[in-house]
């Protein structure tokens, strides 16, 4: 826990912010959920969740909604059986909606598009399921997916779900080392990847990272990846050593030729659906485990309620990558379980030109759009002339996720993108929660720029003090979830104790889930999430652990010690700032030391973790017990006057670091 408490955070934004946006009458009148749902859900939570579970097709109904006897290990919809892939695909075809478009896929190269109807999706998923079975994948085996944003990514996930093989999707921007540690942790039997993907107009290779990762797995466990299934996307040259016939198989050879007939088997509601790795406060990423029934109930319910989805008419677009939880819950499982029509886009917002996203909204008449504050801020910076060139009058609801949205970005989003018609739903949730937990309902709750407002019906949250007392309106504290919810994580893969320690030990007496975020209640009792209170950063909506980056730095032969903090950044929310002590034998490290270390982090973890700034320093500020005082380093990184240094073992250290900073020795 950092030395900073959220109680000491600034209230200024909050106090100034008195803009309010009422739900538009047209949305309010036909809203999927009405205001009565809050009380109804609170008065009988199990009944409310049972009602939501009815939106799925169960091959066997549950006997009990929630078994919380063995808390914090939950079982939801006990005794129920279902198949997630059947619920996302087959049942829509059986209901006569086979010709409905499930995915309007837009590739990054212009005019590279592909529409998949639900009937086509069913065939593709069935073929992929049959191919995986032929490759030896059995129920319970883990399959890693390391793909760009192409339809095969969704097909692969659903094929895994169909045969009960939990998937672990690793973001395509992660390095070979990061991939290897994930493959090892969940002991993946098969990896599904592509030759490459398109990124800013150029093909960018993926397959070589898988090859490298394979050489790095199994050092301790002896575990081995058996097969690598490769989609041909870019057609780029794989190089002389880029193919191993004993391991590698082309997707077009084994999937395209497989039978489109596959009968999905129903699995227990608690059967593992996927493992998603996320950063924690130690160097080792946590494998967050989600299971089938509760997760699908939670994601389909929230996608329907929070975006007020009208499946027959809406065109929905979530810009998140499938490598993050948002891509899992709100690109794959939620929208497809609801039979929605959606857009999926392969590339970056500015390829081949800056208006690409708005062009897509115009072309496909997108009605619901879900993105991240970091993207909105970068569009703000480019100016409204770019979006103003497009007709985005189809939009009716906008969503935001990933980090606190600054009131100015919220208002710009609503005004410039939404033409002032559209409510903005600021949705707070986490990899661990699986589904949106705190958010306005667009037809019920008014919007306040910067506030995620209140828990949605069925969810219970509070802001509490260190001791667990609910804070009064107008005060800040720690965000907790006070009741279990269906799509909650079940454990950390292979580490039940870490699961208890991380989330449930802090408020063990009360039995609350500790989210790791600070929050405030305003004078109306609405919630303002302030960001992480632990040693986790949020860079462009992506969670990165300070420890993980420190470990990467220290693995460089010239580095003796490193401390990493997240500093405020106009574009990315927070940016990675590192303070590094070099080994004596490295001297001053050489002229390119900063660049060398930045690239080293990129190689170890991936481009998103590359520090914005590295300062080579003679000492780090430590308490007498040896704990690095990141609070002081943050002061330096954010160019503030350095705060209270009285608990430092050596109070002159900060003078040395500040002197270094002022000399501008190592900033770029
Ligand atoms: C932050 C992403 C403020 C928060 C779905 C949380 C937010 C972490 C919001 C989870 C929001 C996410 N307002 N903060 N609307 N949404 N966060 O696991 O710190 O990648 O704990 O899940 O992002 O990040 P994760």
Tell me, using a 6 A CB cutoff, whether residue 440 lines ligand 1.
no
Average pLDDT over residues 500-513: 97
Instruction: Enter the pTM of the model.
Output: 0.89
State the pLDDT confidence band at 1, using cuts at 50, 70 and 90.
very low
Q: Is residue 583 predicted with pLDDT exceeding 50?
A: yes
Tell me, using a 6 A CB cutoff, whether residue 6 lines ligand 1.
no
Candidates 560, 477, 487; CA nearest to 515 is 477
pLDDT tens for residues 592-602?
Answer: 999 999 999 99
Strands 613-616 and 573-582, sheet pairing:
parallel
Q: Is residue 518 predicted with pLDDT exceeding 50?
A: yes
Rounded to whole angstroms, the Cα distance separating 340 from 103 reads 9
Question: Which pLDDT value is given to residue 217?
Answer: 92
Cβ neighbours of 509 (radius 10 Å): 8
Q: Is residue 668 predicted with pLDDT exceeding 50?
A: no
Tell me, using a 6 A CB cutoff, whether residue 299 lines ligand 1.
no
Of 171, 413, 426, 428, which is best to mutate to test ligand 1, by the most ligand atoms within 8 angstroms of its C-beta? 428
At 496, list the tokens. Answer: 């039940």
Instruction: Please give the residue that has the higher pLDDT: either 35 or 549.
Output: 35
Average pLDDT over residues 396-416: 93
Atom of ligand 1 lying closest to residue 439 CA: 15
pLDDT tens for residues 550-575?
Answer: 888 988 999 988 899 999 998 899 99
Please give the distance, rounded to the nearest whole angstrom, from the Cα atom of residue 403 to the centre of ligand 1.
Answer: 5
At 592, list the tokens. Answer: 């390119």
Domain architecture of the chain: domains with CATH: 1-97+285-511+518-531 (3.40.50.12780), 116-265 (3.40.50.980), 549-663 (3.30.300.30)
Atom of ligand 1 lying closest to residue 432 CA: 18
Q: Is residue 56 predicted with pLDDT exceeding 80?
A: yes
Tell me, using a 6 A CB cutoff, whether residue 371 lines ligand 1.
no
- Written as one string, the DSSP assignment of 44-109 is -HHHHHHHHHTTS--SB--SEEEE-TTTTS-EEEET-EE-HHIIIIIHHIIIIITTSEEEEEE-SS
Average pLDDT over residues 604-608: 89
State the pLDDT confidence band at 86, using cuts at 50, 70 and 90.
very high
Phi-psi region of 411 (alpha: psi -120 to 50; beta: other; left: phi over 0): alpha
Rounded to whole angstroms, the Cα distance separating 117 from 104 reads 9
Question: Which pLDDT value is given to residue 624?
Answer: 67
Cβ neighbours of 135 (radius 10 Å): 18
CA distances from residue 511 to 65, 461, 504, 506, 575 in whole angstroms, order as listed: 19, 12, 7, 9, 34
At 451, list the tokens. Answer: 């506030």
Q: Is residue 494 predicted with pLDDT exceeding 50?
A: yes
State the pLDDT confidence band at 621, using cuts at 50, 70 and 90.
confident
Rounded to whole angstroms, the Cα distance separating 468 from 465 reads 5
Please give the distance, rounded to the nearest whole angstrom, from the Cα atom of residue 529 to the centre of ligand 1.
Answer: 9
State the pLDDT confidence band at 663, using cuts at 50, 70 and 90.
low
Q: Is residue 76 predicted with pLDDT exceeding 80?
A: yes
Question: Which pLDDT value is given to residue 199?
Answer: 86
Please give the distance, rounded to the nearest whole angstrom, from the Cα atom of residue 507 to the centre of ligand 1.
Answer: 20
Query: Whose C-alpha lies nearest to ligand 1, atom 25?
Result: 430
Query: Whose C-alpha lies nearest to ligand 1, atom 19?
Result: 531
pLDDT tens for residues 240-295?
Answer: 899 999 999 999 999 999 999 999 999 999 999 999 999 776 667 899 999 999 99
Whether the CB-CB separation of 424 and 20 falls below 8 Å is answered with no
Q: Is residue 433 predicted with pLDDT exceeding 80?
A: yes
Candidates 426, 353, 363, 372; CA nearest to 392 is 363
Tell me, using a 6 A CB cutoff, whether residue 594 lines ligand 1.
no
pLDDT tens for residues 167-179?
Answer: 999 999 899 999 9
Whether the CB-CB separation of 251 and 232 falls below 8 Å is answered with yes
User: Token pair 């939009």 is at which residue?
Assistant: 395
């Amino acid at each position: 826990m950092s030395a900073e408490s959220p109680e000491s955070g600034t209230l200024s934004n909050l106090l100034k912010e008195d803009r309010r946006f009422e739900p538009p009458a047209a949305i309010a009148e036909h809203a999927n959920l009405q205001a009565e749902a809050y009380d109804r859900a609170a008065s009988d939570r199990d009944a409310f969740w049972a009602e939501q579970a009815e939106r799925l097709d169960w091959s066997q109904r549950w006997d009990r909604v929630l078994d919380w006897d063995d808390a914090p290990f939950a079982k939801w919809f006990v005794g129920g059986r279902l198949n997630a892939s059947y619920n996302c695909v087959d049942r829509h075809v059986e209901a006569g909606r086979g010709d409905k478009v499930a995915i309007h896929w837009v590739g990054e190269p212009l005019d590279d598009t592909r529409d998949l109807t639900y009937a086509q999706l069913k065939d593709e998923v069935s073929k992929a399921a049959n191919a995986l079975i032929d490759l030896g994948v059995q129920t319970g085996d883990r399959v890693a997916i390391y793909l760009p944003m192409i339809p095969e990514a969704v097909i692969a996930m659903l094929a895994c779900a169909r045969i009960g093989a939990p998937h672990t999707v690793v973001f395509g921007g992660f390095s070979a080392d990061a991939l290897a540690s994930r493959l090892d942790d969940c002991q993946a039997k098969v990896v599904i990847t592509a030759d490459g993907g398109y990124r800013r107009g150029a093909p960018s290779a993926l397959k070589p990272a898988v090859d490298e990762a394979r050489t790095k797995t199994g050092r301790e466990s002896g575990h081995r990846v058996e097969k690598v299934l490769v989609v041909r996307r870019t057609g780029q040259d794989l190089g002389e050593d880029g193919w191993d016939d004993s391991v590698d198989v082309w997707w077009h050879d084994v999937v395209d030729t497989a039978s489109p007939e596959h009968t999905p088997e129903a699995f227990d509601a608690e059967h593992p659906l996927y493992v998603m790795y996320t950063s924690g406060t130690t160097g080792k990423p946590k494998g967050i485990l989600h299971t089938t029934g509760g997760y699908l109930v939670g994601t389909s319910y929230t996608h329907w309620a929070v975006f007020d989805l009208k499946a027959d008419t809406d065109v929905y677009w979530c810009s998140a990558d499938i490598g993050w939880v948002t891509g899992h819950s709100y690109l794959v499982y939620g929208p497809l379980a609801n039979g929605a029509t959606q857009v999926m886009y392969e590339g970056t917002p500015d390829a081949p030109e800056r208006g690409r996203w708005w062009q897509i909204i115009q072309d496909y008449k997108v009605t619901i759009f879900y993105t991240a504050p970091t993207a909105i801020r970068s569009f703000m910076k480019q100016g409204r002339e770019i979006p103003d060139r497009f007709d985005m009058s189809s939009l009716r609801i906008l969503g935001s996720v990933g980090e606190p949205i600054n009131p100015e970005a919220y208002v710009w989003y609503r005004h410039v993108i939404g033409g002032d018609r559209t409510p903005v739903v600021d949705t707070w949730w986490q990899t661990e929660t699986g589904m949106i937990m705190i958010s306005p309902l667009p037809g019920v709750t008014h919007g306040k720029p910067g506030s995620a407002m209140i828990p949605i019906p069925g969810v219970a949250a509070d802001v509490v003090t260190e001791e667990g007392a609910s804070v009064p309106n107008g005060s800040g504290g720690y965000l907790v979830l006070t009741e279990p919810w269906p799509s909650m994580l079940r454990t950390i893969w292979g580490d039940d104790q870490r699961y208890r320690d991380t989330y449930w030990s802090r408020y063990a007496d009360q039995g609350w889930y500790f989210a790791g975020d600070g929050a405030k209640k305003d004078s109306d009792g609405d919630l303002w999430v302030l960001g992480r209170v632990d040693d986790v950063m949020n860079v462009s909506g992506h969670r990165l652990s300070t420890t993980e980056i420190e470990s990467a730095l220290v693995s460089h032969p010239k580095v003796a010690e490193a401390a990493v903090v997240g500093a405020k950044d106009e574009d990315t929310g927070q940016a990675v700032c590192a303070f590094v002590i070099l080994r004596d034998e490295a001297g001053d490290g050489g002229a390119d030391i900063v660049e060398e270390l930045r690239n080293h982090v990129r190689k170890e973890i991936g481009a998103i973790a590359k520090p914005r700034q590295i300062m080579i320093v003679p000492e780090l500020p430590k308490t007498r017990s040896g704990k690095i005082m990141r609070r002081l380093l943050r002061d330096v990184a954010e160019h503030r006057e350095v705060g209270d240094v009285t608990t430092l073992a050596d109070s002159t250290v900060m003078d040395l670091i500040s002197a270094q900073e002022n000399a501008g020795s190592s900033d770029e």
